[in-house]
Amino acid sequence: DVKVTQSSRYLVKRTGEKVFLECVQDMDHENMFWYRQDPGLGLRLIYFSYDVKMKEKGDIPEGYSVSREKKERFSLILESASTNQTSMYLCASSLLGVVANEKLFFGSGTQLSVL
C-alpha cells in the first residue's frame, strides 16, 4: 500500500513565524501535491510537483512556497504565517501518467493553527 506520511498531525504557530510542513511518500511516485481543506470549500490545490526540483502553482499559491529536493519528499513552506492560513493541510502523491492528479493518495493531514 502507498503510504503518504505527514510529519505533524497538529501544529500551533504564531503570526509571522516561518512554518515547514513535511510530507514523505514511499511508493516512488513522481507527482506530489499540497492541498488545503477548509469547511464548505472542499480541497484547494496550493502547489504541485512533477519531479525533483520542479514545482507548479496551483489555485491558491499566495503566501506559500514549496521545496522538492528528493523524489520522496515534498515540503510546504509558509514564509510568514498569518491567521488566515489556519487550516487542514493535505499532502498527496500519484504516479506519473497522462493526467497527474488522478488516483491521488493522501496523507492524514496536518491541522495548522496560527495564533
Residues in contact with another protein by the rule CB under 8 A: 4, 40-45, 90, 92, 99-109
Q: Determine the residue type at 35.
A: Y
**Which is closer to another protein, CB of 43 or CB of 77?**
43
In this structure, which amino acid lies at residue 39?
P
**Cβ at position 102, least distance to another protein in Å:** 6
Q: Is 104 in contact with 115 (CB distance < 8 Å)?
A: no
Q: Minimum distance from CB of 109 to another protein (Å)?
A: 5
Name the residue among 70, 67, 68 with its Cα closest to residue 78: 67
Distance CA 54, CA 23 (A): 16
Shortest distance in whole angstroms from residue 103 CB to another protein: 6
When the beta carbons of 100 and 114 are compared against another protein, the nearer one is: 100
